[in-house]
Structure 1
Amino acid sequence: MDDIVPDKSAAEIKASAAQAPGVVLVFDGKGGVKPVPPDAETVVVPPKGFMLISGNSKSPEFKMWLKSELGPFNADALTVLSTRSRCTVLDDKAVVVLRVARPGAKTDDLGRQLLGIWLEKGRVIVASELNIPEFLGFANWAQSHYAPVSPADLVARLGLRASDRIEPLIEHLGDSIDTIEEELMLEHSADSRAKLAHLRRTLIGFRKLLWPQRDVLNTLEIEDLSFFSGRDRARLREASSRTARLGDELQALSERAVLIHEQIMDSRAEQMNRSMLVLAAVTVVFTPLTVLSGIFGMNVPIPYADDPHAFWVVMGLLIAVAGLCIWWMRARKWL
C-alpha cells in the first residue's frame, strides 16, 4: 500500500538523511545543535538526540526523496497544499500540517505558507517554502546552546514561531478597531461602516488560521506517542496555550467589532429619528397655518376683505399660531 512507510534500519535512515536535498541539523538533546555538511556520507546522532531534515516543498528533488523515505501517500500529505491545519497519527509517527503567515504579510492580505512536519522517534522532516533554520533562529541556538531537546520540543517551537508571526498582525487589527471607535466618538463616521465590515471579514480569516492550529497542538499533546516525555507534552501545551490566547484576543476583537457595528446602527437610527422628528414638527406647525390660509383664500365674501390692514393681521395670526405650536411641543419635550 502507498500509505505504508518503508521499513528502514537506523543506519539506512542516517545515510539517506545525509543525502537529503535540503538542510540537515543534528540536535544532541542537551540544547546543542550543529549542521551536517553536504558531503557527509552518514549522520551521527547522539543517543538522546535527534535530527531535523528540512527541504523546499516545491523542490522536485526533495519530493522524490520524501517518496522514497516515507512513501507516496505520506509524502503528498507533507507537500500538497491544504486549506487547514491538521494532525494525523500513524502508528508511532505523526504528520502535522501548520499554516504560517508569510513574512511582511498585511492584515488585509494574509499570505499563508504550508508547514508540513513528519514526526517520529529520532527524526523530524519539515517540508516548507520557509527557510526553517532562519525561521527557528538556528544562529541563536548555536550561540546560546538553547536548541530543542526533542522532536516534540521542536514542533512546539515551530508553533510558537507561527504565533509570533501573527501576533503583530492581531495588534494591528486592535489598533484599527481603536481608530474606528475614535472616529465614531468624533462623529467622523462616514466610511466607518465599510471599514468595520472589511475588518470583520479579516477577523474571520485570522480565526480560521488560529483555531485549527490550536487543535493540532492539543491533539499532538494527548496522542500516545512512545517518544513523548512529560516535558514534551508540557511544551506542546505551552504552544497550544499561546495560540489559544491569540484566539481569545481575536474573539475579543470580534465582540468589540459587533458592539461597534451596533453603535453605528444606533447612530444611524438616531439620525433617522431626528430627521423624522424635524419633519413631524414642521408638519405639526404648518398644518394649522394651511387650514387658516385655506379659509382666508376661499372664493367667497369674507369679513375685512376690503380692509387694507387685513393681510398683516392674518400674517400676525399665522405667526402667533406657529409660535404657539412650537411652544407647546417644547413644553412636552418633543423638540
Structure 2
Amino acid sequence: MSDLAPLPDRLAFLFDGAGHAVKDAPPVPPGSPPRGGFSWLHLRRDAEGTRAALDACDLDGFVVEALMAEETRPRCTVHGDGALVNLRGVNLNPGAEPEDMVSIRLWVEAERVIGIWIRPLRAVRDILEAADRGQAPTTPGAFVARLALRLADRAEPSVAALNERIDDLEDLVLDERASIPRLDLSDLRREAIILRRYMLPQRDALTTLEIEDLPWLTADDRSRLREAAERVFRLGEDLDAIRDRAQVVHDQIMDRRAERMNGQMLILSVVAAIFLPLGLLTGLLGINVGGVPGTESPYAFWWVCAALVALTGGLVWLFRHLGMFR
C-alpha cells in the first residue's frame, strides 16, 4: 500500500500466527477458545458506524470511552485481561508539521487488537505492507512492539533534520559576521520540545506494557517491547540534546548582543565623559555676569578654542591609557 493511498475507514485482518493475514476477516469474539493467531480491527474514529462497531465487540464502557476520547497522551492501562495502549507518531501527511503528533489508540487482548485512528499513520501502512509480504506480526504483543518500532523509524528522520538544523545554527554562531535567524532557532526549540513531550511518555507506556503480568505476552514480545522502548528513549535523548544545544546557541546570541551593546554604551560613555568638562568650561565662560576673563581681548575666543582642543586631546589620551577604547 502506497504512503499516499487513502487508508480505509475500516480494516479487519486475521493473523494466523505464522506471518500470514486474511483481510476482511470477522473479529474474534471475546472468550473464544484459543486457536493461534489473533484478529485486528482498525477503525477511523469519526467514521459513521465506529461506535456501533465497538459496541458489537462487547467491550467494557471504560475501554470504549478511552478509545473514542477527544485527546489522548501516550499511556498503557491494564484493564482486566487486556491493555489499553495509546501511542503517538510524527505527522508525515502532506502539508502537515511533523511535530503535530498523530495518535493511535489500541485495545489489546489475547486474541484480538482493536485500534482507533483519527489521522493516518505511515507506521500502520508499514504493517499492512508487511502483511502483504507474509511478514505479519505473530502475536498481539508483537503487533504493538512492531507498531512502536515503526513509529520510531518514522520519527528518526524528523529528529535527524532537527539535528542538522541545530548544526547549521551552531556554525553560524562561530561566524562573527553571520546573522543568526532567531525565528528559526525558536521554531527548532518549539519542535524539539513538542516531540519530546510525547516521546518520553511513550517510552513509559511501552515499558509499562512490558512489565505487566499479562498471560498473552510472551518472552519474545517483552523483548521486542523493551527494544521499542529503548528506541523511543534514544529519540528522547536526542531531542533533549537538541533542546540543550538550542539553549546554548540562544545564550551565545544573547551574549554577542550584550557585547555589542556594551561596546556601544562604552563609546557613548566616553563621548559623554569628554564633552562633560568642555560643556562645563564653556558654560562658565558664557555666564552673564561681570568679571569673565577675555571679554575685552580680540584673541580670547581663539585661546579658548585652543584650550578646549588641548583639553580634548588630554582626555582622549587619559581614556586610552585607562583602556576604555579596547
TM-score by length of 2: 0.83
Distance 1:246 1:133, change over 3 A: closer
Q: 2:249 aligns with which of 260, 276, 296?
A: 260
1:325 aligns with 2:315: yes
Tell me which residue corresponds to 1:5: none
1:105, 1:111 within 8 Å by CA — same for their partners in 2?
Answer: no
Flag structure 1 segments of 5+ consecutive residues without an equivalent: 1-20
Quick one: which amino acid aligns to residue 116 of structure 1? R
2:111, 2:140 within 8 Å by CA — same for their partners in 1?
Answer: yes
Tell me which residue corresponds to 1:15: none
Distance 1:268 1:174, change over 3 A: same
Distance 1:305 1:133, change over 3 A: closer
Rounded Cα–Cα distance in structure 2 between residues aligned with 1:108 and 1:332: 56
Rounded Cα–Cα distance in structure 2 between residues aligned with 1:117 and 1:315: 89
Distance 1:41 1:150, change over 3 A: closer
Tell me which residue corresponds to 1:54: 42
Distance 1:280 1:131, change over 3 A: closer
Q: 1:312 aligns with which of 302, 305, 309?
A: 302
Distance 1:233 1:89, change over 3 A: same
SS of 2:49 mapped into structure 1: helix
Rounded Cα–Cα distance in structure 2 between residues aligned with 1:109 and 1:95: 25
SS of 2:89 mapped into structure 1: strand
Distance 1:139 1:206, change over 3 A: closer
Rounded Cα–Cα distance in structure 1 between residues aligned with 2:147 and 2:156: 14
SS of 2:76 mapped into structure 1: strand
Distance 1:105 1:310, change over 3 A: farther
SS of 1:227 mapped into structure 2: coil
Tell me which residue corresponds to 1:4: none
Rounded Cα–Cα distance in structure 1 between residues aligned with 2:122 and 2:39: 13
Alpha-carbon offset, residue 167 of structure 1: 2.4
Tell me which residue corresponds to 1:290: 279
SS of 1:117 mapped into structure 2: strand
Rounded Cα–Cα distance in structure 2 between residues aligned with 1:279 and 1:180: 32
SS of 1:257 mapped into structure 2: helix
What RMSD, in angstroms, separates the aligned Cα atoms of the two structures? 3.0
1:175 aligns with 2:169: no
Quick one: which amino acid aligns to residue 247 of structure 1? G
- Greater displacement, 301-310 / 240-249: 301-310
Rounded Cα–Cα distance in structure 1 between residues aligned with 2:192 and 2:90: 14
Tell me which residue corresponds to 1:237: 226
Rounded Cα–Cα distance in structure 2 between residues aligned with 1:234 and 1:42: 26
1:28, 1:46 within 8 Å by CA — same for their partners in 2?
Answer: no
1:107, 1:173 within 8 Å by CA — same for their partners in 2?
Answer: no
Rounded Cα–Cα distance in structure 2 between residues aligned with 1:131 and 1:102: 7
Q: 1:166 aligns with which of 149, 152, 155?
A: 155
Q: 2:236 aligns with which of 237, 244, 247?
A: 247
Query: How many residues are aligned here?
Result: 310
1:102 aligns with 2:84: no
Distance 1:138 1:160, change over 3 A: same
**CA deviation string 1:264-317 (max 9, x = no partner):** 222232222222211210122112222332343344345554444433332222
- Greater displacement, 133-142 / 288-297: 133-142
Q: 1:77 aligns with which of 66, 69, 78?
A: 66
Distance 1:297 1:324, change over 3 A: same
- Greater displacement, 109-118 / 274-283: 109-118
Rounded Cα–Cα distance in structure 2 between residues aligned with 1:116 and 1:304: 95
Tell me which residue corresponds to 2:6: none
Rounded Cα–Cα distance in structure 2 between residues aligned with 1:198 and 1:132: 24
Rounded Cα–Cα distance in structure 1 between residues aligned with 2:232 and 2:55: 32
Tell me which residue corresponds to 1:9: none
Alpha-carbon offset, residue 131 of structure 1: 6.6
SS of 1:60 mapped into structure 2: coil
Flag structure 2 segments of 5+ consecutive residues without an equivalent: 1-8
1:136-147 matched pairs, under 5 angstroms: 136-143=126-133, 145-147=134-136
